[in-house]
Structure 1
Amino acid sequence: MDAEITLLAGAAGTTIATLLATDTWNGVRNGVITLWRRARPDHEERIAAQLDTSRQDLLGARSSGDEETEREIAAEWQGRIRRLLVAHPELVAELHSLLAELAPGTSSIPTVTQRATASGSSRVYQAGRDLNVDQR
């Protein structure tokens, strides 16, 4: 579950940071606040203020071409979301739904493509996650 949470938090943080500087920012703000309200209603006002600050910082960074600040804002939200999901894994499905609503047509979790070629008596072991090999 930790790998899924990390990937999901990464996608969520990037999506939040990207969309805060668009016309859909109110939807992003409301969705993130609703998510937090379910798990930590006492943090609702703080999260709302952090979203507003992130938006202002992001708009300023974009107007000055400051890509580093954009990356930092995405990383901050990735961390916040990851910590929320670790403490409240029941919110994973809700976050998936929120991301699908906010950024339709994009995958909330990146896909991985693996290719391997084996010849002769060689073996290839690949896994997207856990792999158990028993060679008895």
Structure 2
Amino acid sequence: MDPIVLAAGGALVSAMATDGWQHARAAVVAWFRQLNPDQVDSIYADLEVLRDQVAAARAEADQTAEQTLVRAWRSRLQQLLDGDPELAAELRQLLEEHVNPGPSQKEQAQARSVVMRAEARDNSRVYMAGRDQHIAEGS
């Protein structure tokens, strides 16, 4: 199975439980519309059923059922790629931009890592803060 299919199938099912699902679903439906406009209604309905099935599997903590759904969508996507291997690049773009996007460039620029280390000895105190700190101790 194509590695992009493995990633996309899992990401699609995982995205259904996120706040970004509406956006991801719209992008997936638009992608399928380009491939086969006659199947758009069917794809949309299938995605809605799949989301309900994923929600039920997660509510019951049924990982086997969820993995079965992942395998079904991987198979469906692999069939598309078997018919047209050139779709792999489009599927990768769909995955990276809409289904499983990483942090935006703005979010990446805002991400920081702070390492702080302190050591206290003999009843001394150490106060550390990544930003503002207000200490009010009673006398």
TM-score, normalised with respect to structure 2 = 0.68
Shift of 1:15: 0.4
Structure 2: segments with no counterpart, 5+ residues: 104-139
Structure 1: segments with no counterpart, 5+ residues: 107-136
Question: What percent identity do the matched residue pairs reach?
Answer: 34
In terms of Rg, which structure is larger? 2
Q: Distance in 2 between matches of 1:32 and 1:88?
A: 17
Q: Distance in 2 between matches of 1:49 and 1:104?
A: 24
1:80 has 2:76 as partner:
yes
3-state DSSP class of the match of 1:104? coil
TM-score, normalised with respect to structure 1 = 0.69
1:71 has 2:67 as partner:
yes
Paired residue for 2:23? 27
Q: Distance in 2 between matches of 1:92 and 1:35?
A: 12
Q: Distance in 2 between matches of 1:23 and 1:69?
A: 22
- Of 13-22 and 34-43, deviating more is 34-43
Q: Within 5 A, what are the aligned runs for 1:1-136? A: 6-101=2-97, 102-105=99-102
CA deviation profile, 1:51-80 (whole Å, cap 9, x unmatched): 000000101111111111110111111011
